[in-house]
């Protein structure tokens, strides 16, 4: 772990930069604000450095990220596989942002990338990275991959390539991964970076508004339903969870991102140390899970050990093949 790139890493990066013409930037499944923010930021910066760059994501993003410049240029493997594969084959360099196992892109995209591997950079702040890239910039002490992209660019002296679209994207990643600067991982340096971006013209208020004040009526009602009807609390063992079936999600015409943050609401209750959110996948074969904790309770280990997932100490996710009832049963059993 290092907050700084080594001299040999910088030399490798400079060598790559001299050779690269066409770059594909990847992030993880169910992309969030940091996934899209770090990816679009690096795309803009590489484009300003005279490179062709495109972002390929495994599946759809919440539509409220449409304010980000370059949003419309993103290629989604789930709906535009052919175009994504053409970009992958034609590229001479890959960047992997905000994830550290190729599996996090899904089995099929991961296999295609591996079969067409190029020199690559991996920039990420999750635990236990795989060492598959020529340049691995991995450090769990950063708030977000977006903050790491800023350091990566400054440490390689391409600061002049950071334009307003790149700053909007990086700020989005920092804000969403820190729940608006509230998590312990936020440092004075995080605020200094934001201050520097504001001096260079970043306007923060419209970004908060676009992310947090543009909920649809359906999303707000789904939140209300989940909290009043579906929240299960075990006060004795200090945990709470919400589980939603596909039928319930359809009733509220669920869109990607609509259930984001529900798990944090469960955790916000007095006396609750661990919160979970479960939702059935649309094909009904599996359950997606999110876990949050307060203090030392390590949900990364919990998600890795039992839920085919991982993440950070206080925020992690996973996926279980099986029914919603099976997931809830397992969770209750593990929490005893
Ligand atoms: Mn992140």
**C-alpha 251 to ligand 1 mean position (Å):** 30
CATH topology identical between 7-211 and 217-334: no
The CA distance from 108 to 120, in Å, is 19
Q: Are strands 120-124 and 239-244 parallel, antiparallel or unpaired?
A: unpaired
**C-alpha 316 to ligand 1 mean position (Å):** 11
Sign of CA dihedral 229, 234, 239, 245: negative
Which parts of the chain have pLDDT scores under 50?
Answer: none
Pick the CATH number of 7-211 from 3.90.1640.10, 1.10.10.10, 3.10.310.30, 1.20.1420.20: 3.90.1640.10
Q: Tell whether pTM > 0.85.
A: yes
**C-alpha 236 to ligand 1 mean position (Å):** 32
pLDDT of residue 3: 87
Residues in the chain: 336
- The CATH code that applies to domain 217-334 is 3.10.310.30
pLDDT of residue 2: 66
**C-alpha 35 to ligand 1 mean position (Å):** 6
Neighbours of ion ligand 1 (CB under 5 A): 34, 98, 144-145, 177
**Contact residues for 211 (Cβ-Cβ < 8 A; gap 6+):** 33, 64, 65, 172, 175, 176
Domain borders along the chain are: 7-211, 217-334
**C-alpha 305 to ligand 1 mean position (Å):** 21
**C-alpha 42 to ligand 1 mean position (Å):** 14
């Amino acid at each position: 772990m290092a907050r700084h790139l080594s001299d040999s890493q910088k030399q490798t990066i400079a060598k790559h930069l001299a050779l690269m013409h066409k770059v594909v930037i990847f992030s993880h499944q169910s992309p969030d604000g940091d996934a899209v923010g770090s990816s679009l930021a690096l795309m803009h910066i590489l484009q300003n450095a005279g490179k062709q760059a495109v972002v390929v994501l495994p599946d759809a993003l919440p539509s409220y990220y449409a304010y980000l410049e370059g949003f419309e240029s993103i290629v989604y493997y789930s709906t535009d596989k052919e175009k994504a594969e053409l970009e992958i084959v034609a590229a001479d360099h890959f960047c992997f942002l905000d994830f550290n196992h190729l599996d996090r892109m899904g089995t099929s995209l991961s296999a295609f990338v591996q079969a067409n591997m190029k020199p690559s950079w991996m920039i990420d702040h999750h635990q236990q990275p795989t060492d598959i890239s020529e340049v691995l910039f991995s450090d769990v002490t950063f708030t977000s991959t977006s903050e790491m992209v800023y350091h990566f660019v400054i440490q390689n002296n391409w600061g002049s390539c950071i334009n307003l679209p790149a700053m909007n994207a990086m700020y989005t990643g920092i804000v969403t991964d820190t729940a608006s600067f509230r998590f312990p991982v936020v440092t004075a340096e995080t605020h200094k970076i934001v201050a520097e971006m504001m001096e260079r013209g970043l306007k923060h208020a419209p970004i908060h508004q676009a992310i947090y004040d543009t909920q649809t009526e359906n999303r707000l009602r789904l939140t209300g339903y989940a909290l009043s009807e579906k929240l299960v609390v075990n006060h004795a063992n200090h945990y709470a969870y919400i589980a939603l079936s596909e039928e319930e999600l359809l009733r509220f015409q669920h869109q990607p991102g609509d259930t984001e943050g529900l798990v944090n609401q469960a955790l916000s209750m007095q006396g609750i140390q661990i919160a979970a959110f479960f939702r059935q996948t649309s094909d009904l074969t599996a359950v997606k899970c999110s876990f949050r904790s307060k203090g030392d309770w390590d949900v990364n280990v919990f998600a890795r050990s039992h839920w085919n997932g991982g993440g950070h100490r206080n925020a992690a996710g996973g996926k279980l093949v099986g029914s919603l009832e099976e997931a809830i049963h397992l969770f209750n059993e593990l929490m005893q």
